[in-house]
């Protein structure tokens, strides 16, 4: 449910939790299920399991996650 997901994102935002911006993105949110976990492991798993050829939607989503994908 988008309403519940967005309300939870607001709640996380009030607590300065970085997952709030990821939950606002419906495409990223599906990689955070079932427990609103960090989407990065799910995206890496998708890269290994899906065969999209040159264009892979998981690669595009890494750009939406932001700099936390590659630690300093």
Span 3-26, pLDDT tens digits: 999 999 999 999 999 889 889 988
Given a cut of 70, whether residue 54 has pLDDT beyond it is: no
Residues across the chain: 72
Q: How many CA atoms lie within 13 A of 21 on its CB side?
A: 7
Mean pLDDT calculated for residue range 39-49: 78
Helical H runs in 1-72? Answer: 2-14, 19-24, 26-29, 39-49, 57-65
User: Using an 8 Å Cβ cutoff, are 19 and 11 in contact?
Assistant: no
Angle at 17 between CA 13 and CA 20, to 5 degrees: 55
């Amino acid at each position: 449910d988008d309403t519940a997901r967005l309300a939870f994102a607001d709640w996380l935002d009030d607590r300065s939790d970085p997952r709030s911006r990821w939950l606002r993105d419906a495409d990223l949110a599906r990689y955070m299920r079932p427990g609103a976990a960090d989407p990065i492991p799910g995206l890496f798993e998708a890269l290994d399991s899906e065969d999209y050829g040159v264009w892979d939607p998981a690669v595009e989503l890494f750009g939406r996650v932001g700099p936390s994908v590659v630690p300093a």
